[in-house]
Each structure stands twice: as C-alpha cells, then as structure tokens.
Structure 1
Amino acid sequence: MIRIRRWLLSRAPGLCAALLGIFMMIYGLWRGEGEVVLAKAIRICMECIGIG
C-alpha cells in the first residue's frame, strides 16, 4: 500500500500537468483556435522558404 501511494505521489505533478495541457488543447480547439494556429504555421513556413 505504501509503495502504491509513494508511486502516485511522485507521479501526481506530471499527471496534473498532462491533464491540464489536454484540457487546454481541447478548449482551444473548441474555440476555433486550431485554424488560427494552422494559418500562422503555413505563413511562417512560406516565409522561411521565401514564397510568402
């Protein structure tokens, strides 16, 4: 029992951070931010190769 509790406590910060990150990505996609990010990524790539 102590071994399991120690394992959970050592992994808790990473698990919380991962869950928070997943939640924030879902929230951003729900708001339509995925299209904005994709448009900016395309623009940056075009500028890097000299087309944009």
Structure 2
Amino acid sequence: MPQAVVIALAVALIIAGAFNGSARDVLYKAITICTECVGLG
C-alpha cells in the first residue's frame, strides 16, 4: 500500500510540473548542456 501512495504522489507532481512550465525549462537546460558538451554552444 505505501508504494502505491508514493507512485500516485510522484505522478501527481510530474503532472503539476508539466502544467506549470517546468518541463520546458528542464528541456531547455538539457539542450543547452548537450550543445555545450559537443562544442556547438
């Protein structure tokens, strides 16, 4: 039972983060890091 609660909470927080724009910020930072890593940025 506690594992189901943790999974439900994780899903709820992921959805909340996606709706407030956090996913866009994380993607932008990941792209920036990757382009710097290969020497394009």
What's the TM-score, normalizing by structure 1?
Answer: 0.69
Alpha-carbon separation, structure 2, partners of 1:25 and 1:19? 10
2:29 to 40, 43, 47: 40
Higher relative contact order (CA 8 A, sep 6+): 2
Alpha-carbon separation, structure 2, partners of 1:17 and 1:37? 23
| Bigger Rg, which one | 1
Gaps of at least 5 residues in structure 1 are 1-11
Q: Aligned-residue CA RMSD in angstroms?
A: 0.9
Q: Runs of 4 or more off by more than 6 Å in structure 1?
A: none
Alpha-carbon separation, structure 2, partners of 1:16 and 1:41? 30
Aligned residues: 41
Identity %: 39
